[in-house]
Structure 1
Amino acid sequence: MKLRHVILGSVFHDCPTDALFRRFSEESVMISRYLTRLVRKERIESGTFNMIVVSPVESRKPSSIWQGAENLNIEVPMNWADYEAAKGREEVNALFLSLFKEAFKRLGKERDFPVARLIDILHGFREAGYRNEWTFKRRLFREYGLKAALDCRLELDRFVLRLTITKAGMIVFEHDILTTETDPLFWYYRFKDIRVCNGQVEIIGRNDRQPEDGAWEAEVLFTWRIPHGLGLPH
């Protein structure tokens, strides 16, 4: 089995306030999605689990490692006052990174697992300035001489999707076309491809309504009409 997910887990029972729990749930997505995206590229053999869940517990409580059906749960101590005091991308993610690092060290002591590769990914996140940015898709429309790219940016409090369209190396359109909450439920299916249709560049996704036949329907998220004379077919 390959490792496919590395996330900060639920802290509902240990979190001192509902407001802090909501903040933690929102802000922890940024580093969790970064680690998940990178570990999938590594194709790490993980044996009987495909997910590592790191769950903070109050410092006074004993922590443990235990395995569920297909997930390995690692509890690590955290002082909630430290998290509450952390502000901004660097401080918050530095704290989250320390939790993952402690969890990976514990994993390495108790199991034969390539934790050095996980720690290298953590260091890469820190060296990148605690940023989670990636290009989702690029398309070349030769007949119009246009290139289009969808770039994603996941911050502590929001997800942002940017569309950039160029012609002959010059930007002809660049704009954030979607800003939403960090939870992937709000953005993961909203965009899947880029196409040109009826003189328009369209960003298409999948709606959240599944018909009886089980086939999801395509839904247009955004359209940009190609200006007259700019993208005439060659």
Structure 2
Amino acid sequence: MIAQQCCAFGVDKLKLDLDASKGFKKVEQITIFNDTSDEEIFVTAKSFSWAMDVKNALLLGPTSDIEIFPSMQKIPARGTATFKVRYSGAELKGEKTYRLRFDQISVPKALSTDPSDTSLKSVVEGKSVVGMAITVPVYVVDFSQKSDAAEKVSAMMKSEASGELTVHVDNVGDRHVEIAAVRIDGVTQKSSLGVVLAKSTRIFPLSTAKVKKVELNVTCGDSSQWVVVSKG
């Protein structure tokens, strides 16, 4: 399955789950493919810490917890390359979240196409020829610990000053949850709204201004339940 595709290159996974159980260092793989028929591309890989604000803006920061190797690869036309990803941070309780960023690099023809060439590395690291980019979420969890995150979610419907009707979702649990569906007045209106990270709040707009009852299908791993949205 192609998880994301962006012009000349794509990635095979929507997300990565890494097990941080004590003594267990799991290495996951993610495959990048070059969908062009006649050009090779270079792809660099970096990791970032990841959080979200209430309106879904990504908040990224530097991290050394996630190792990606190699950090750069050349992919031939119609070819693929595999990157290995490992968590090397401290022991944790609950969950930590990160993002992988893969940048497509276009190399001027005047430069050598040998990835070990110093001049090429200088161009790549200098970001002067970066093309498209793809990011992939990474969830690091100690799977030896049980979680009831799906039961730690509450939601409230509010009318904003602009007149817009919104749902505020609070996740006080120790793992992220997904809002897999929305049911309005008994009718399922939308598919997934996205995730709410652990100990976070997100605000979702509603497509209608007049409703009597809103329910959210909240999932975490194999756990799933419908949460009734209260009225603020």
Which TM-score applies when normalising by structure 2?
Answer: 0.30
Which TM-score applies when normalising by structure 1?
Answer: 0.30
Higher helix share: 1
Higher strand share: 2
